[in-house]
Amino acid sequence: MDRRYFLNYSAITAAYLLAGCEERSGREEGKARQAVSDSPAAVPPQKAEEKLPEQIMPFTQKLKIPGEIDFAQIKKAALTAQKSQVNIFPDMQTEVLTFQGDLPNPTIRIKKGEVFDLDFMNNLADPTIIHWHGLIVPEEMDGHPKDAIASGATKQYRYPIEQSAGTFWYHTHPHGRTGEEIYRGLAGFYMIEDEEEKRLNLPQGEFELPLMIQDKRFDEKRQLRYKDPKVPQDNNGLLGDVILVNATPFPYHEVKSEKYRLRILNASSVRTYQLAFDTIGEFALVGTDAGLLESPVMVQSVVLSVAERVDIIVDFKDKEVGDRVTLKTLGFKEGSNLTLHPDYPAFDAPMDIMQFHVTEKILDTQVLPEKLIPIPRLQASDAVNTRRITMEIIAGGIWTLDQKPFDMHRVDQRVKLGTEIWEIKNSVHMAHPFHMHGVRFQVLDRDGKIAFPTDKGWKDTVIVMPFETVRIIVHFTMPGLFVYHCHILEHEDQAMMANLLVE
Ligand code: C2O
Ligand code: CU
Ligand code: CU
């Protein structure tokens, strides 16, 4: 392993950090200065040594592409939550949690109109349950924390797919342990397809890539580190310094000079990414959490908070063999003056994520359609009710909704089938991705300064910036008890979750 390369890399990151951190705490600023003063050839600072004793050389490992559970080929599937040893690094194994023995977990692919049928076995020591994030399914199939199954037990999931094409995902959802289980590996993609999408002829096969982005921490034995008990800020959200894409640290992927459809999921604990490419100025946003947009929106970058998805088309047609294009985060400030673990790259730290290596020049034949799918706009005037949800921190530093720590058995909102406006008011200095089970919704408006192009599409998770109010319009079509919560994993595990009963 080339130690020097990483030092270069971290010094560069630190330089950026310093440039943009006038408002930071003294502690953090001091640290950035210290890192910057280290020349690339100098001995690494003690802290970096503790965190990344074996240096990770970016863009040397090939991107892993998840295998698929394709319901066009099988009628029934099985997943088993289990402890596994896997090669995240080529030379040493890491203990993780998986659904089939390896990472990345398989991608589920299913068509609208088909029946999803899967046996889930819990081989973990504690109760757990799988939730299908973004799917509108009956309560017993949704994976509410109250439905967690015991260690050694099996649950059968069976439900028809009735919603349109989109990039969804699955992960476990036990009360108080979701964060650590996702962090240790229990998450995968779930793609729904339909005829309308197929007709668009978007890039497919080798030109369609699912990318699950997660930042993590590793110790000197390349084992995952979760919360640092000495640093209470980790309860506000766990930031890591090693970015994995499909369970591969800072990978690379070989591409042709053609359009690619990247279906990107942020499955991190707390980090929001502002995704951009270093040498491609613009790309097309074609889909959001719960489906395709009406038409492609050209963007230079896109913000992706935890649990959100974006479907983008990036075009390598002007690239030559040998060119390299880096996907990175420009850094996104979540809150004013909020410092989490001071030893890890802050929210607004620019970081590289992965690289595309152009290895073949081909004729660019893909056409990006001008129109995608029609989105019926939910009208504020159709709403029969408006409710307000507040995001608050209460005594003891506990994150809550409406100042009430989550109680699995308390019904917080009773809703009638139909359309409602929910006003999500953030009363604190940290952004929160707000997620609802059992529905998809549209963003009506937000009173903040940033315009998010992802607000144009179907959503199931929406970022609410500090002190901002976001109004969403929600169509309730599935009766049952569901949760809504902040999707920062450490917040949902603490108490930032509530129950909604649809009748
Ligand atoms: Cu990703 Cu409660 O969900
Ligand atoms: Cu969900
Ligand atoms: Cu939160």
pLDDT digits over 282-296, tens only?
999 999 999 999 999
With H, G, I as helix, E, B as strand and everything else as coil, classify residue 261: strand
For residue 90, report the distance from its CA to the centre of ligand 2, in Å: 33
43 or 128: which carries more pLDDT confidence? Answer: 128
175 lines ligand 1 (CB under 6 A): no
Cα 442 from chain centre:
19
Cα 195 from chain centre:
26
Q: How far is CA 127 from CA 93, 150, 176, 178, in A?
A: 26, 4, 11, 11
**pLDDT tens figures, 273-282:** 999 999 999 9
**pLDDT tens figures, 183-207:** 999 999 999 999 999 999 999 999 9
Q: How confident is the model at residue 397 (pLDDT cuts 50, 70, 90)?
A: confident
**pLDDT tens figures, 431-481:** 999 999 999 999 999 998 899 999 999 999 999 999 999 999 999 999 999
Count how many Cα atoms sit within 13 Å of the Cα of residue 5 in the half-sphere of its side chain: 9
- Enter the DSSP assignment of 370: S
Cα–Cα distance for residue pair 333/348, rounded to 1 Å: 5
With H, G, I as helix, E, B as strand and everything else as coil, classify residue 195: helix
For residue 173, report the distance from its CA to the centre of ligand 1, in Å: 7
Q: Which atom of ligand 1 is nearest to the CA of 461?
A: 1
Q: Which atom of ligand 1 is nearest to the CA of 492?
A: 2
491 lines ligand 1 (CB under 6 A): no
For residue 475, report the distance from its CA to the centre of ligand 1, in Å: 18
Asked if pLDDT for residue 38 goes beyond 50, the answer is no
Largest CA distance in the chain: 65
133 lines ligand 1 (CB under 6 A): yes
For residue 134, report the distance from its CA to the centre of ligand 2, in Å: 5
* Domain residue extents for the chain: 6-196, 205-360, 380-502
157-161-163-167 Cα dihedral, nearest 10 degrees: 70
**pLDDT tens figures, 332-354:** 988 777 789 999 999 999 999 99
Can you name the CATH fold of 380-502? Answer: Immunoglobulin-like (2.60.40)
Class of domain 205-360: mainly beta
Cα–Cα distance for residue pair 35/44, rounded to 1 Å: 8
Q: What percent of the chain has pLDDT over 90?
A: 84
Cα–Cα distance for residue pair 250/243, rounded to 1 Å: 6
Q: Note the pTM of the prediction, 2 decimals.
A: 0.90
CATH code at 6-196 = 2.60.40.420
Q: How far is CA 88 from CA 103, 228, 328, 355, in A?
A: 8, 21, 20, 17
Within 10 Å of residue 322's Cβ, how many Cβ atoms?
8
Q: Which atom of ligand 1 is nearest to the CA of 134?
A: 1
**pLDDT tens figures, 115-167:** 999 999 999 999 999 999 999 999 999 999 999 999 999 999 999 999 999 99
Q: What percent of the chain has pLDDT over 70?
A: 89
Cα–Cα distance for residue pair 52/63, rounded to 1 Å: 21
Q: Which ligand is nearest to the CA of 424?
A: 3
Task: Give the sign of the dihedral formed by CA 6, CA 10, CA 11, CA 16.
Answer: positive
Q: What are phi and psi of 70, to 5 degrees?
A: -105, 115
Q: What are phi and psi of 257, to 5 degrees?
A: -80, 75
